[in-house]
Structure 1
Amino acid sequence: MKHIYTTLALLCLCFSGFSQNSTIKGNIQDSTDNELVGATAILYYQADSLLAGFALTNEFGQFEIPKVAPGNYYLQLSYIGFENQSVSLDKDQFDGEVDLGTIKLKNANIIDGVEIRQAPLEIRKDTIVYDATVFNTRPNATVEDLLKQLPGIEVEDDGSITAQGEQVENVLVDGKKFFGDDPKIATKNLPAEAVQNVEVYDQKSEKAEFTGVEDGQTQKTINLDLKDDHKNGVFGNINVGGGTDELYTGKASLNRFSPGLQLSTIVSRNNINDQAFTFRDYIGMNGGGGFVPTGGGGARVMMVTGDVPGGQNLESGINTSTAAGVNLNASLSDKTELHADYFFNQADNNFERFTNRQELLTNGFISTNENNLGNSVSDNHRMSLDFEFKLDSMNQIEFNNRLVYSEQDYFANNFSETIGVDGNLSNDNTTFENNTGDSFGIESELFYKHRFKKKGRSFFAEAGINTNNSDFINLTEATTNLIEQSESVLLNQQLNADDASTLLSGSVSYTEPVGEDKYLQFDYALSNDTDNSDRDFFDIVSGQDVFNDQLSNEFEKDYISHRPGMSYRFIKGKHNVNVGMAYEFSNLEGATDLSSTQIDKDFNQLLPSFNWRIELDDSKNLNFNYSSSLNEPGIRQLQPAVDNSNPLNVYVGNPNLDAETQHNVRANFFTFDRFSFTNVFAFINASYTADKIVNAQVFDENNIRTTTPVNTDGQLSSSANVSFSKPIRSIRTRVRVGTNVNYTDGEVFINGNNTDFNTFNHGYRLNLSNTNDEKIDLNLSGRWNFNNQQYAENEALDQSFLTQRYAFNTDFTIKEHWELGSSMNYNVYSEEQFGADNTFAIWNAYLKRSLWDNIAEVRLSVNDILSENTGINRTNNLNYSQEEISNVIGQYGMVSFRYNIRSGRNKEAKGDGNTPRPPRGEGRPRGNGDNRPPPPPQ
């Protein structure tokens, strides 16, 4: 707990930095006594020229800068077309109010450039805008490196991004798609120097964006606003490297941007676990293609899911990754926009892992130790083609299409032992499995948008189709030894599976203004989801395939949903409120060829919604949202067939499942003090799911598990995230602290007995980084994550563990063109649940030489200098806890060469590699070329 107390103490120290003593005011006029409206008054500290305050004059030419502590300052007054004027202030003048009276500015015949201090971020309604030029990065840094410096944004080791506590789902470039919806491709391949602003917001659905009425469907999105010299020119880079143990890396990217064209290409290949794509590219279309083994140790049966084949973590093992793609955004005419992209990736993963899994029983634990050795190869092709037609000022059509095709091959040798509650070996299992298959998916959406002549009146319609098909073959050879019975169960089996799904959807919406800033919206949505799952099992006897009619089955599911609704929206001052109510009535039908089992269920549910956004001022906003939804069970959950292809884990579907009803409440708050550069992000989310579907597990006398999905009374889940950032000028350091909390309360079935449970996971993070240093960057950070799970039935089943991580990073300019860098990550996994601490340190270092005015660089790097890297992953689930240790690359050295491609205005601004870097993290001098003050927040 001492780490928590330290964090809280630092928070208190940071907040104590605010002082509120005096107000500086004055009146700005021209030489003819006319008041200058919108003139800028900027207050700087005399000691270091850092920004201390900011104000604009009102309609009477008056300004006020409140809450100024006594000290020595100078005040810069500016207005377009007038000479700047500076007023010096010393601490003796601060005795209550500081009234400077009337100050006259002189007309300027020649305007000289002036350097001003720009606030690092601002709020524009529901968008947070970071000035990327303020957060300086090292030469050849990527957008990912830039994002790591921005307050409120976290970048994990695997490249995933969270902003204000939420996962970032999409990264745009100048408001346009960049290789579909994979954030990693943009952040890992675009240079940080190309970015002017980073905009973070919740991207609404097409319908909500057009009508202005919230529907609860949002994606946390980042938009990269490029600098002018990158909006029109060619830029990119080539990076190649070779290392010890036959390791290598190669990557090339080229971008050609102009006002009406964005064209980008990417090619990469490496065997050092550097992936330029996320799991969504590895599996193809989300939830649509791919297949994975399911269950615990021993044989696995392939299921159509959105997971990775074999369940392996692509960050572990030895991975060879290949990727290539092209992205195009083009204005075909004044009324037609085109987006197209193609992306290919291959992931070749050799894995070896040891898994310790503890299954919960009411009277103790069953332990399973498994060794798994194998290989997985996946080839994926993804293509998008989108059109936007602006027929006229009143009508617009969008047509979006996506195609995915993937081929996958997985094989593994597994050995597992299961130890019962009494501590004795109950069974062991040896399995060889080989799975091959392919999947294909198409998604198309058509949108029609119409605005009437009457302001606020609109009509919106959409229609879509989503089809997915997958075929795979699973070969399993398994031997299970039942120790107490002194017998063995042999399995030599082939599964041929064919899965197909089609989703048809459509909706219409009409919005009518009913007063000033008041609107009524009427909606109707219809969807039809059809799924078919065909499983043919064959026992291999004497080399012959013998059809197994007991396991083979075919199941069909058809779900039709109707959803009429109405909502009311009004805007008054700082408040934007939306209240809605929908009624969903749906029918679920299912049938299997195994029996006369028929599913025919009707669901009816009122689904209210509420959204309230409060714009407190230019630097604060607050947002509340409530939404509800009806979620039908999946086809595998309903399928009543017995699946015992894994002899240690039998799965049986439940045709009696009801649909879940989910209620979600969320709120977020953001505030930024542009004078002290202090910001606070806060996010809270809570959801209650009635008829929550969970997996009930039962173990027999041989500790063989049978899993069946069942409905529970309900489950409550909540999460919160708070982030605080503030520069401490006296020690030239920026402090970032944060905390996240997750709480879940519900019902779980342990060996056939239901019991209440709750999980309480909480984490804390601290980051210290230096500012205003031209030669050295320092960054210290710590993270502490606590995982706790409690059960009402038996306190002895409670689980908890602590994960700690400490990191140190430094980059040092040792002389002209030479740079030295080092990083250390120290990881501690506590001994609870797994018997021993797991502690290791990863130390990396590099030496870099810039060439030819920073056009190129040569880098020598050494990874895992101490040879301690360990692939470890711990998870807590409702029914079990698990630790997985897998193989990693380990220590290696590498020499790499990078060449930057620049043209146009960007080439002229490339720098000489010896230009002193401006202060980092809390504002730097910037010239805008026209003597204008920084614009006020919008």
Structure 2
Amino acid sequence: MKRFLLLMILLAGATGAWAQSFSLSGKVVDASDKSALPGATVILTRLLDSVQTVASTEASGAFKVQVPAGNYSLKITFLGYQTFQKSVPVMASVELGTLALALNSQMLNEVKVVGKIPPGEQKGDTTQFNAAAFKTAPDASAEDLVQKMPGITVTNGTLQAQGQDVKQVLVDGKRFFSDDPSTALRSLPAEVIANIQIFDKKSDQAEFSGVDDGNAAKTINIITKPEKRTGQFGKASAGYGSDNKYMVGVAVNSFSGDQRLTFTGLTNNINLLDFSVGETPGGGMRGRRPPMGGGTTSGLISTNTLGLNYSDLWGKKMEVSGNYKFTDRGITNNQFRVQNYTLPSDSGQVYSENRLSSSATKDHQFNFRLDYNLNPNNRLLITPSLTVQENTTDNQVASATSNVNGALNTSESATQAQSKSLTFNNNLLFSHKFGKVGRNLSVSLNTSYTNSSGDNGLAANTIYYRGTEGNQTQNLFTNQRRTGFSWAGDLTYNEPVGKSGQMQLIYNLGNQRNDADKQAYDLVEGTGAYSQLNTALSNTFQSSYFTQRFGTGYQYNEGKLRLRVNARYQLATLENDQDYPTEDFYTRRFTSLLPSADLTYKFSQSKNLDLNYTTSTNAPSVDQLSQAIDNSNPLQLYQGNPGLQQSYAHNFRIGFRNFNPETNRVFFVGVFGNLVQNYVSNSITRATTEPITLANGQVLEKGQQLTTPVNLDGYMNVRSVFHLGQPVGFLKSNLGVNGSVGYTRTPGLTNGQLNIASAPNVGGGLSLSSNISPKIDFNISTNGTYNFVQNSLQGQLNNNYFTQNTSLKYNWIFGPGLVYRTELNHQYNSGLSEGYNANYLLWNMSISKKLFKSQAAELSLSVNDLLNQNVSVQRNITPQYVEDVQSSVLQRFFMLTFTYNLRNFTGTAPQEQKRDRDFQGPPSGGSPGRPPQG
């Protein structure tokens, strides 16, 4: 195979005489409302020899295939729609335009009799699930629905599908809330959804050129029911509870064909970060759920937020989407941490900290996207974004360091900080198609500008029990200004090679420039003025990272095999220019070869194997380069390293997917990993037995430390996961089994000695989600992970710890409009530091009564953390120490809440409109026995 590929690349210039092929393209839409049908199966059969070419429509409903000249039979199928067939002669490239599929009423009647709906199918690279096969409560959100589907999980607030983080959510092929999967899934009710599709969405560059560049993002596409695409729907809630707890939230969608509007608003002090149409009445029922996409809900959080999402077609050529979000958030947190160090000479050194913090953030975020098809051969994409932020923080910290011989030091400090920042990004992408099919040129320009400023005040008193100074005080004022500007231009040319190949030429040019100015002033006694410049803590610094890339690639796509190989040669220059406190100039030049490859093999329409390998470089940040000392924690100082080099990463992914339509079994196994050369780790200089004088003259007293970033080889992070999903008929539920094996290897330095922190882990879990009826909806799951902590420098700190999370979510509709909801979450920890092995049961519960004839309203009494046991603990592994952290969390409160559900669909028959408004229909998947629509 290697010799074959090499020969293909070397002879690329002499391939013009190969057999000529032509393209056949079109767009598949719903006949009633002209909305796109992504994931439709396109089968092109050559009449001469019955050879078939199979493809799936993209998110926009478009498809394009390359075939030799001949007479063909075109067949297009989509679940719930009539099959489209047409004879097509191909003697040149053919543009079929828009192909409309009509609903299959006969199929609907047949399914009503059978009454069993298949949960899903595999369509090439796309896994599609039928929402009708997964029963949820009538007021469930899209988030609740997708978590019932095999291979989709939420881990530490991050939505994952087939082992990878979900980067974006589409609705009927259109972007929804930009790249915010959390808001997108929580803003749609499950009952409007027909299908859920999971696939790797190509980059804009690849979609423009038709040549895969290997930059794909795991994406969920929500296909709505045709009769739910016109109307207004949403939810509003207001609640008040014990200890002055409150919550008012609204989420309203207005859909009218291609135009989609969504408004969300929330004010609360019960740790809710957003509000959704699937929000459980009472609010506190979701008080501990972390934000999807990562993050934390530790601390006591008050949030005021407004959000608006918009998408539409402006004419026939222009598709636009955008969103705006304003957030005003305050967080208070009392956090405890303990760090056990790994250096043998530390004699059991331990650092402990008690931090009381409060912060207030005001944030404006705006994103816009304009996709303009100027004509069949030219396309323009513009995607600007703007973020403006104000932040204030107040920290009071009590910390101490000790070893087996007793206390080394103690410190009390208070910091107050204010900052403002603005970030503007804009991406331009233009693509031109030439007369020959597959020959195209794309040009892109990406720009970014940042500007930030901040002031910081520090007052600290530190006692060193065995150092040269017994008592040290600091009273400091610091102001910092930063600006950054980066740009990158990209030129890509594609040329067809034979009937199944494509060559690619690439040139990229870019620069990242950052300016940082930090001035620190000590308080002058007797004057009350901060006028004494502290040179050790001040710095004026500029950095520039200039890159050029030249590359070529080849892509082969024929039948079951798709292969892409790519290689880029990169020249990079990193310049660091320091003006203060001393003049200094560093230049680093790097040459890198950046290969990448993709291979997809389809064993069948429902079984395929994916292999992916990429390489990348990463320049160090301004904080990592600047020599100004950060003394916000007097016992743990930080200083950048202007001598840092760029890191070089190898990333790989292997995935196997299989869907058995006979048993409805879904299976996925994947291996993911990255290896990093010149990994930016930390070097800690710590005064263990005697004070240490640094190069700038500063003295580290016993127990005090300075952290500096350094380049080290040997970082590795590898994990493998599998998921098996299987309906269990006698339980009327869906069973999920998952497992994982991981290994992380992180190098670090302590007082010049290298320590390798290795963290193998193995985990597994089970889940059972109900598929009984809309009146009984439950999810049960348990996941456990066993971790092995190993240190090459000090083996006595090696330890094993185990964490397990078990949860139950149960909704029961009974009696005359009565609803009982409960959530139980049990956390088990073993092997953490003393006092951090918190095992607890979090129990949330509510009882509700549906109101009015339509039952569109609901009055609910809920309790959050009924047993008052909620805690937050976390373990972190580094090469220098093992750390356990405990944070403040929201605990028990009661709340009375009124909720109103809006359902007004004007695109359905009158009887269906009434059913939707009255909440009498079945949940999320459609009417009984009806397959998804669209």
TM-score per shorter chain, which class?
0.7 to 0.9
Amino acid at match of 2:128: V
Q: CA offsets per residue over residues 869-910 of structure 1, 9 Å max, x none?
A: 112222222222222222222111112121122221363331
1:585-664 to 2 correspondence within 5 Å?
585-593=571-579, 594-664=581-651
Amino acid at match of 1:886: S
Give 1:926's match in structure 2, choosing from 915, 923, 930. 930
Deviating more after overlay: 163-172 vs 394-403: 163-172
Structure 2 residue runs without a partner (length 5+): 1-45, 51-79, 84-104, 277-290, 691-701
Give 1:508's match in structure 2, choosing from 463, 474, 491. 491
Which residue is equivalent to 2:660? 673
Counterpart-to-counterpart distance in 1, 2:275 and 2:109: 47
Amino acid at match of 2:144: D
Give 2:175's match in structure 1, choosing from 162, 174, 177. 177
TM superposition shift of 1:133? 2.2
Contact 2:193–2:924 (Cα < 8 Å) also in 1: no
Which residue is equivalent to 1:68? none
Q: 1:756 to 1:587 in 2, by over 3 A?
A: same
Which residue is equivalent to 2:91? none
Deviating more after overlay: 208-217 vs 717-726: 208-217
Q: CA offsets per residue over residues 499-546 of structure 1, 9 Å max, x none?
A: 111111110101000100111000011111001111100111231112
Alignment of 1:544 onto 2:529: yes
Counterpart-to-counterpart distance in 1, 2:511 and 2:835: 51
Q: CA offsets per residue over residues 390-427 of structure 1, 9 Å max, x none?
A: 1111111111111110000000211112112x241111
Alignment of 1:453 onto 2:440: no
Counterpart-to-counterpart distance in 1, 2:487 and 2:127: 36
Give 1:203's match in structure 2, choosing from 201, 213, 224. 201
TM superposition shift of 1:590? 1.0
Which residue is equivalent to 1:846? 846
TM superposition shift of 1:733? 3.8
Q: 1:672 to 1:781 in 2, by over 3 A?
A: same
Contact 1:761–1:785 (Cα < 8 Å) also in 2: yes
Deviating more after overlay: 493-502 vs 877-886: 877-886
SS in 1 for 2:326: strand
Which residue is equivalent to 2:501? 518
Contact 1:822–1:846 (Cα < 8 Å) also in 2: yes
Tell me the number of residue pairs that the alignment of Structure 1 and Structure 2 aligns. 796
Counterpart-to-counterpart distance in 2, 1:756 and 1:503: 35
TM superposition shift of 1:245? 1.1
1:332-731 to 2 correspondence within 5 Å?
332-363=314-345, 364-420=347-403, 422-485=404-467, 487-542=470-525, 543-546=528-531, 547-593=533-579, 594-700=581-687, 701=690, 702-731=702-731
Counterpart-to-counterpart distance in 2, 1:831 and 1:927: 50
Contact 1:128–1:201 (Cα < 8 Å) also in 2: yes
Counterpart-to-counterpart distance in 1, 2:231 and 2:384: 29
Contact 1:362–1:751 (Cα < 8 Å) also in 2: no
TM superposition shift of 1:620? 1.1
TM superposition shift of 1:696? 1.0
SS in 2 for 1:686: strand
Which residue is equivalent to 1:141? 140
TM superposition shift of 1:688? 1.7
SS in 1 for 2:655: strand
Structure possessing the higher relative contact order (Cα contacts under 8 Å, 6 or more residues apart): 2
Counterpart-to-counterpart distance in 1, 2:826 and 2:107: 57
SS in 1 for 2:342: strand
SS in 2 for 1:909: helix
Amino acid at match of 1:257: F
Deviating more after overlay: 524-533 vs 714-723: 714-723
Contact 1:691–1:713 (Cα < 8 Å) also in 2: yes
Contact 1:134–1:924 (Cα < 8 Å) also in 2: no
SS in 2 for 1:146: helix
Counterpart-to-counterpart distance in 2, 1:110 and 1:665: 43
Q: CA offsets per residue over residues 453-482 of structure 1, 9 Å max, x none?
A: 211111111001101111011110001110
Counterpart-to-counterpart distance in 2, 1:919 and 1:570: 39
SS in 1 for 2:213: coil
SS in 1 for 2:384: strand
1:199-238 to 2 correspondence within 5 Å?
199-238=197-236
TM superposition shift of 1:914? 5.7
TM superposition shift of 1:275? 0.8
Q: CA offsets per residue over residues 226-255 of structure 1, 9 Å max, x none?
A: 222332222222111111111111111222
Q: 1:625 to 1:114 in 2, by over 3 A?
A: closer
Contact 2:135–2:772 (Cα < 8 Å) also in 1: no
TM superposition shift of 1:156? 4.4
Contact 2:746–2:878 (Cα < 8 Å) also in 1: no
Contact 1:800–1:833 (Cα < 8 Å) also in 2: no
Amino acid at match of 1:926: R
Amino acid at match of 2:133: V
TM superposition shift of 1:488? 0.9
Deviating more after overlay: 680-689 vs 269-278: 269-278
Q: 1:928 to 1:481 in 2, by over 3 A?
A: closer
TM superposition shift of 1:741? 2.3
TM superposition shift of 1:773? 4.7
Amino acid at match of 2:894: G
Deviating more after overlay: 766-775 vs 352-361: 766-775
Counterpart-to-counterpart distance in 1, 2:470 and 2:150: 61
SS in 2 for 1:838: coil
SS in 1 for 2:879: coil
TM superposition shift of 1:675? 1.7
Contact 1:850–1:913 (Cα < 8 Å) also in 2: no
Counterpart-to-counterpart distance in 1, 2:455 and 2:487: 28
Contact 1:147–1:155 (Cα < 8 Å) also in 2: no
SS in 1 for 2:784: strand
Which residue is equivalent to 2:120? 121
Counterpart-to-counterpart distance in 1, 2:742 and 2:363: 35
Counterpart-to-counterpart distance in 1, 2:109 and 2:796: 75
TM superposition shift of 1:661? 1.4
Identity of aligned residues (%): 29
Q: 1:742 to 1:692 in 2, by over 3 A?
A: same
Counterpart-to-counterpart distance in 1, 2:325 and 2:809: 34
Structure 1 residue runs without a partner (length 5+): 1-57, 62-77, 82-107, 279-307, 930-934
Q: TM-score, normalised by structure 2?
A: 0.81
Q: 1:465 to 1:803 in 2, by over 3 A?
A: same
Q: 1:755 to 1:888 in 2, by over 3 A?
A: closer
RMSD: 2.8
Counterpart-to-counterpart distance in 1, 2:760 and 2:314: 53
Counterpart-to-counterpart distance in 2, 1:361 and 1:927: 63
SS in 1 for 2:132: coil
Counterpart-to-counterpart distance in 2, 1:256 and 1:271: 28
Q: 1:667 to 1:899 in 2, by over 3 A?
A: same
Counterpart-to-counterpart distance in 2, 1:80 and 1:407: 55
Q: 1:897 to 1:79 in 2, by over 3 A?
A: closer
Q: 1:717 to 1:112 in 2, by over 3 A?
A: closer
Counterpart-to-counterpart distance in 2, 1:620 and 1:157: 30
Counterpart-to-counterpart distance in 1, 2:620 and 2:82: 63
Q: CA offsets per residue over residues 139-158 of structure 1, 9 Å max, x none?
A: 11111111221111112474
Alignment of 1:860 onto 2:847: no
Deviating more after overlay: 487-496 vs 787-796: 787-796
Q: 1:739 to 1:477 in 2, by over 3 A?
A: same
Which residue is equivalent to 1:13? none
TM superposition shift of 1:134? 1.7
TM superposition shift of 1:742? 2.0
Contact 2:124–2:606 (Cα < 8 Å) also in 1: no
SS in 1 for 2:523: strand
